[in-house]
Each structure stands twice: as C-alpha cells, then as structure tokens.
Amino acid sequence: MKVQVCIIGGGPSGLMLSQLLHLQGIDTVILEKSSRDYVLSRIRAGVLEHGFARLMREAQCGERMDREGEIHHGFYIAHDGKLDRVDLHKYSGGNSVMVYGQTELTRDLYEARDKIGGKVVHNALDVTPHDIASDKPYVTYRSGEEVIRVDCDYIVGADGFHGVSRKSIPQDKITEYERVYPFGWLGVLSRTKPVSPELIYAKHERGFALCSLRSQVLSRYYVQVPLTDKVEDWSDDAFWAELKHRLPAEVADKLITGPSIEKSIAPLRSFVAEPMRYGRLFLAGDAAHIVPPTGARGLNSAGSDIHYLYEGLVDHYKKGDDKGLDGYSQRALARIWKAQRFSWWLTTLLHRFPDRLPYEDRLQSTEIEYLFSSDAAQRSLAENYVGLPY
Ligand code: RFL
Ligand code: PHB
C-alpha cells in the first residue's frame, strides 16, 4: 500500500487529522490496533474548547455536536462549604465551552470517514515504523499471518501514551518530562439526571470530586482515590456515599443515584516528550503529552497539535512550503506547556495531597480564597479553561 500520510492510532487525534487531510485531497490511512467497538467503548473527555468545536465543524463533523452538545458559560468550585461560580463567559470575553462526550465525537469522526471512503484498518497488529530518519519511511503491520507494508511520505504517531510511535524515536533524540501524582480518579457513568446543569469541581478534606455530565439524562461523576484502590473495591453504593460526603449539603441532597453503566480508575500524570518530530515521524496528542484531567485539556491539546500539523501538511502538499512542518514541534509545544501549567495548577488547587505539609494545605485554601476575591485571577482561570487561542 502507498499513501501520502500513514497515521498510527484511530483515536480522536488520528481520525480528525485523517478527515481534515482527506477533505484537502491528501491521501491517508489509519492503522488502529483495536476494534472500532473497543475504541468507542472508552469513556473519556467531556468538555471541548470552542477551538476544538471549530475543528469538528471544519472537518464537516460538527452537525450532531452542534445539535446535541451543551454550551456552558460557567462552572462551580465547591470549597470550604461554599459553592462559588466561575463565570467563563464574563471573564473570557464572551467565550464558553461545549459539553459533548469524546465517545460521541469519535463516533461522528468514524461515520464521517465511512461516508467519504476513508481508509481505517482495525486490529492492525505489531504496527512498526521503519526508516523514519530517511526520506522513504514506511510502516508495517500484521493482519493474521500476513505482514503488510505501507510506504508513505510522512508518519503521524497519534497512538496515545502507550503507543509504539514515541518509542520508535532513538532515546538520545527525545527528552521526556514527567510527574506522576499520588492518586487517581474513580469515574462513574450513570443514566441519571445530572445533579447540576453546570460542572461542579469540589475540593474536600476527604479528596477531590467532580460532577460532570454527558447530557440531561447521563451523568459523569469522579472521586479522587489512592493509587492502591481497585475498581472492584468500589460498589456503586460506596461510590455514591463517598461522592455525597465531598459535596456541599445542598448539592448532595439533590443527587440522584442509580446503577453505574461504566466504572473505571484513571491514574493522574503530567508528561511531555520533546521534540514532537523526528525525521519523517510527527507525534500528536496523547502520544506526545498527557495532563491530569482536572483542567479538561487532554483532548483539547490534541486538537491544537492536529490543527498545526494539518496546516503544515497542507502547505507542504499544496504550496511546497515546509515552514509549517519544520516549525510544528516548537509551535505545538508552546501551547502544550501552557496546558501543562494550567492542568498542574488546577490539580494542585483542588486535590488532597497525602504527604503535604500543613503549611501547604493553608496555602492551597488561601489560593482558592484569593481566586474568588480577584477578577484578575478569575480571568486567568477562565481564559485557560475556554482554551488559549491557536
Ligand atoms: P487516544 O485516545 O489514546 O487514541 C490513541 C489510539 O491509538 C491506538 N493505539 C495503537 N494503534 C496502533 N498501534 C499501536 N501500537 C497502538 N497503540 C495505541 C489506541 O488503541 C487508540 O485508539 O489518543 P488521542 O487520539 O491523542 O486522544 C487523546 C484523548 O483521548 C485524551 O487526551 C483525553 O481523553 C483526555 N481527557 C480529557 N480531555 C479533554 O480535553 N477534556 C476532558 O474533559 C477530558 N477528560 C480525559 C478526561 C481523559 C480521561 N482518562 C481516562 C485518561 C477524563 C478522563 C477520565
Ligand atoms: C468529564 O466529563 O469526563 C470531565 C469533565 C471535566 C474534566 C474532566 C473530565 O475536567
């Protein structure tokens, strides 16, 4: 097989890039190691920046998102028995976020690829990039007993944190920065009416909690748990009881509980690999960087990578101009590090850190008090939450 761009990974990053390039007449194939059903069973992001929503429309995949997604102009932070609202609209100059699940968005992207005959190979095993430092790179994968070779001009590694792409770059050509947090998030999806029309992030002495949603009949809740906890340790009843503990009484009283339809634990990690290019291989999305989910930046940061890479590839193929590709890593990383900073800051503000000094706990409370006493601080929070421009 020969294509212009071979994309490894059929998550939102790979699908979005493939769809955008296809619309420009640039030929791609996606090699995805899992089945489509498996990819669509993962429950992940819920909050999209307006920039990501714009990208969905540009990819001609925004129709259902615009019909079913919810525009949110603010969210709440519960702390010290209070419920303070962050007015995103007021403090970000009229911007907002879109609440629309990653699962739905991924389904929309797959359906769009189907409609225009996009090539997506599922269950592609042992995907391996070759000769990435040469100008004739290729990728091999296995389907049953058969090994298939894909020749291409460029390879895009959009295969998530555990993928093969980043690992195929020589170790002395890449620097990795990492922080692993001493806790995870236990998440529950339930077919119940959300407790609040807007998200509630809760800081509590027992640990962080988040009330989110996918629609007015589908709720998504999280509680901070130690890394040693297993999903099997948490019955639905234990989860609801813990969540109620961490919410202000007036919210807990209104919480409607029900059976969980998904329950999982995600560890929290900050991670950046630099640079995001080696030879003819470009990294994008979670393959190059991870944030703790607190700031809702992960998928949104993947969106800005895809935007920059798309522009670079279009300039290369349409104008013979390589400035965009040559500047991709630097441009993408400038925004990525700001998302890292914001996610680290919000995580630090809202979680309980087991080994922290009492002094640091007081600073944490003071930081929240300062936030809600200062227009400048709320403006900074809002500007980052709705997404920095790209
Ligand atoms: P993905 O989604 O991990 O997709 C990578 C794909 O590559 C495939 N793959 C391979 N394919 C071929 N060969 C290999 N060797 C391969 N190895 C892996 C995988 O099967 C997969 O299909 O990466 P991508 O596309 O870069 O997308 C990133 C987002 O998924 C991620 O950043 C977000 O989900 C993060 N995130 C959130 N982001 C937001 O912007 N807003 C949110 O509200 C938000 N909430 C969240 C989140 C992530 C969470 N978890 C579970 C980590 C909430 C949670 C709980
Ligand atoms: C979610 O709905 O899954 C979600 C929302 C906001 C976050 C993280 C996750 O910050």
The confidence score (pLDDT) of residue 104 equals 95
Looking at the DSSP bridge assignments, the partners of residue 79 are: 82
**CB of 68 within 8 A of CB of 53?**
no
Angle (nearest 5°) at CA 368 between 363 and 374: 115
CATH number for region 5-71+97-178+269-348: 3.50.50.60
Residue 288: nearest ligand to its CA? 1
47 lines ligand 2 (CB under 6 A): yes
Order across the sheet with 70-72: list the strands. 47-49, 97-99, 70-72
CA distance to 17, 142, 181, 192, 238, per residue, from 139 (Å): 18, 10, 35, 45, 47
212 lines ligand 2 (CB under 6 A): yes
101 lines ligand 2 (CB under 6 A): no
Report which protein residue has its CA nearest ligand 2's atom 4. Answer: 46
What CA–CA distance (Å, rounded) separates 30 from 169? 20
Which atom of ligand 2 is nearest to 212's Cα?
A: 2
Report which protein residue has its CA nearest ligand 1's atom 52. Answer: 266
Residues with CB under 6 A from ligand 1: 8-14, 31-34, 39, 44-47, 102, 124, 127, 158-160, 162-164, 185, 187, 266, 285-286, 293, 296-300, 302
**CB of 59 within 8 A of CB of 16?**
yes
What average pLDDT does the segment 53-65 reach? 97
Residue type, 37: D
Q: How far away, in angstroms, is 265 Cα from ligand 1 center? A: 14
**pLDDT for 8 beyond 90:** yes
The confidence score (pLDDT) of residue 49 equals 95
The confidence score (pLDDT) of residue 18 equals 98
Domain boundaries, the chain: 5-71+97-178+269-348, 181-268+353-386
Report which protein residue has its CA nearest ligand 1's atom 16. Answer: 163
Q: How far away, in angstroms, is 296 Cα from ligand 2 center? A: 6
The confidence score (pLDDT) of residue 43 equals 85
**CB of 7 within 8 A of CB of 164?**
no
Which atom of ligand 2 is nearest to 201's Cα?
A: 10
Angle (nearest 5°) at CA 170 between 166 and 175: 70
What average pLDDT does the segment 25-32 reach? 98
296 lines ligand 2 (CB under 6 A): yes
Query: pLDDT tens across 271-292, in order?
Result: 999 999 999 999 999 999 999 9
Query: pLDDT tens across 121-180, in order?
Result: 999 999 999 999 999 999 999 999 999 999 999 999 999 999 999 999 999 999 999 999
Alpha helices in 195-353 (DSSP H): 236-246, 249-252, 298-314, 323-326, 328-350
Question: Of the residues 127, 208, 286, which should be mutated to test ligand 1's pocket, given the most ligand atoms within 8 Å of the CB?
Answer: 286
Q: How far away, in angstroms, is 161 Cα from ligand 1 center? A: 8
What average pLDDT does the segment 39-49 reach? 91
Of 301, 312, 300, 314, nearest to 100 (Cα)? 300
What CA–CA distance (Å, rounded) separates 109 from 376? 38
**CB of 65 within 8 A of CB of 12?**
no
* Residues 6 or more apart whose Cβ sits within 8 Å of residue 19: 59, 60, 61, 109, 112, 113, 118
The confidence score (pLDDT) of residue 126 equals 98
Which atom of ligand 2 is nearest to 43's Cα?
A: 3
Which atom of ligand 1 is nearest to 287's Cα?
A: 26
Query: pLDDT tens across 341-361, in order?
Result: 999 999 999 999 999 999 999
Which atom of ligand 1 is nearest to 15's Cα?
A: 25
Kindly report which listed range (43-47, 125-129, 326-330) carries the lowest average pLDDT score: 43-47
Q: Is the peptide bond before 275 cis (omega within 30 degrees of 0)?
A: yes
Superfamily name and number for 181-268+353-386: D-Amino Acid Oxidase, subunit A, domain 2 (3.30.9.10)
**pLDDT for 2 beyond 90:** yes
**Mean pLDDT, the chain, whole residue set:** 97
Q: What is the largest CA-CA distance in the chain?
A: 64
Query: pLDDT tens across 175-226, in order?
Result: 999 999 999 999 999 999 999 999 999 999 999 999 999 999 999 999 999 9
Report which protein residue has its CA nearest ligand 1's atom 35. Answer: 298
Angle (nearest 5°) at CA 101 between 7 and 77: 125
**pLDDT for 45 beyond 90:** no
**CB of 72 within 8 A of CB of 198?**
yes
C-alpha gyration radius of the chain: 21
Q: How far away, in angstroms, is 297 Cα from ligand 2 center? A: 9
